[in-house]
Copies of this chain bind each other. A is one copy, B any other.
Amino acid sequence: MRVSVYRKEHFNAAHRLHNPSWSDEKNKTVFGLCNNPHYHGHNYELIVKLTGKLDPETGYVYDMKKLSDIIREHIIDRFDHKNLNLDVPEFKKLNPTAENIAIVIWNTLRSKIEEEFEIKVKLYETERNVTEFPADL
């Protein structure tokens, strides 16, 4: 009796896409406006999916309050109203594309949520650009 639950949270952040091993020209060609050295920003919508067995005593797969608290403590409080490149250590040397942000969030939550639960991260950078990790097999 495996069920999935989803919790949606959001954070607002600035970022810049840049590969320091490339020339400025190549960075501009590949990343376009997203390479602006002064940064730009987004309202990121984050959806965490957690899959596991139903607990017959509670009727819950997972306490959504607890899931929300974990996301807030380990992601939102560290990413919200921040500059991802400058303020979040994981992106000191990692380009904060939506894909990499989703992977960092997944890695962080994976270490905080019991292994018996599968997790998946979906991140809306805008309404039109979305990423998900890990991909379905």
Contacts and interface: CB of A to CB of B under 8 A. Distances in A.
Interface in A1-28: 1-10, 12-15, 17, 19
Contacts of A42: 12, 41-43
A102 B1 CA distance: 12
Contacts of A96: 59
| Most chain B CB neighbours (cut-off 10 Å) among A9, A39, A64 | A39
Chain A at the B interface: mostly helix, strand, loop or mixed? mixed
Contacts of A6: 129-132
A65 B103 contact: no
A4 to B, nearest CB: 4
B19 A38 contact: no
Interface of A: 1-10, 12-15, 17, 19, 30-34, 36, 38-43, 51, 54, 57-61, 63-65, 68, 80-83, 86-87, 94-100, 102-103, 126-136
A-B pairs with lowest CB-CB distance, top 3:
A41-B41, A33-B81, A38-B83
12 contacts: A3-B99, A4-B136, A8-B128, A14-B38, A30-B58, A36-B82, A40-B41, A41-B41, A41-B42, A43-B126, A59-B95, A68-B128
